[in-house]
Amino acid sequence: MENLPLWDRDGLLGSPLFEPLYPVLRQLENAHFPDLDALNALLPASQKISVHSGKALRFVAQGTGKLAFESQYEPRCYLSGEVQTREQNLHDLFNALVWLTFPQSKAAINQRHYRALTEIGTPLSSQRGSVRDMATLFDESGVIVACADACLAELLHGFRWKELFYSRRDEARAGMGFYIFGHGLHEKAMQPYLGMTGQGLLLPVGREFFTWPLAERMQHLDERVAAYLNDPKHCMDTHELSPVPLLGIPGWSADNEREEYYDNKDYFRSGRRRTA
């Protein structure tokens, strides 16, 4: 990738793992780790990013101490549009970059959290549940899998990694696109390791999708993912997501050019079973 931020001295952000963030990363041409002012300067002036409450998005300093419900992370984001962001923190930096790349999807996740916290009538900041579990898993570890071939999608669902990524790797390159969404995964990708796995949300697309410019593809996926997450029938169970061994994706690791790479059963595992 051209015009890498100068603070990324090792050039790690040029990896295909960070491709969805390229349009935003190209704007961070500076020698210093981005601060809140730098992140807020990336917010588009012409078409403001808003959360579902209608409030304009803004990155603010992390609150401290014991916080009232409305000042905690998800409620504050929903009610005021303020995303609490720690300075010099890689995890929070990637969270901000994903907001700038997939604003509608991030707003949908925030809304699902807020509604889950308040739907019983009394706000409970510690309340969990299947909706929040699924939203959190996708927010931290999600991968958007755009697929133009139903047969390839079935191979992924069936955990047939060697067939998908090696035997049919040319078809996978042409008919599938893997785009990391989870900001936790982006942080891990700064030091990739064998075993790094994402949670894939599969979306069918037409073949023409892969001919579009990157920014247009990201906008399209943002709209599609947001529509999925905003549907009350969805975001109900973590099993809506399919594990994806990221370093098996063709082109994402030099080692996966070798057939025997996919014989590692600890990484390329067979399918999980769902309990009744």
Q: Identify the band that residue 99 occupies on the pLDDT scale cut at 50, 70 and 90.
A: very high
User: pLDDT tens digits, residue range 214-245?
Assistant: 999 999 999 999 999 999 999 999 999 999 99
Top-ranked range on mean pLDDT: pick from 46-50, 67-71, 85-89: 85-89
SS3 266: coil
Q: Helix or strand or coil: residue 262?
A: helix
The three-state secondary structure class of 245 is strand
203-227 per-residue burial string, b: 16 or more CB within 10 A, e: under 16: bebeeebeeeeeeebbbebbebbbe
The pTM of this model reads 0.92
Work out the burial of residue 68: count CB atoms within 10 Å of its CB; fewer than 13 is exposed, 13-18 middle, 19 or more buried.
Answer: exposed
Q: What is the pLDDT of residues 167-219, one digit of tens each?
A: 999 999 999 999 999 999 999 999 999 999 999 999 999 999 999 999 999 99
Distance in angstroms (rounded) separating the CA atoms of residues 267 and 260 = 12
Can you give the pLDDT at residue 125? 45
Average pLDDT of every residue of the chain? 91
pLDDT digits 0-9 by tens, 112-134: 999 999 986 544 444 568 999 99
Nearest to 98 by CA among 170, 5, 25, 6: 25
Give the per-residue pLDDT at 15. 87
Q: Sort 94 into a burial class: Cβ within 10 Å, 0-12 / 13-18 / 19+.
A: buried
Per-residue pLDDT, 276: 30
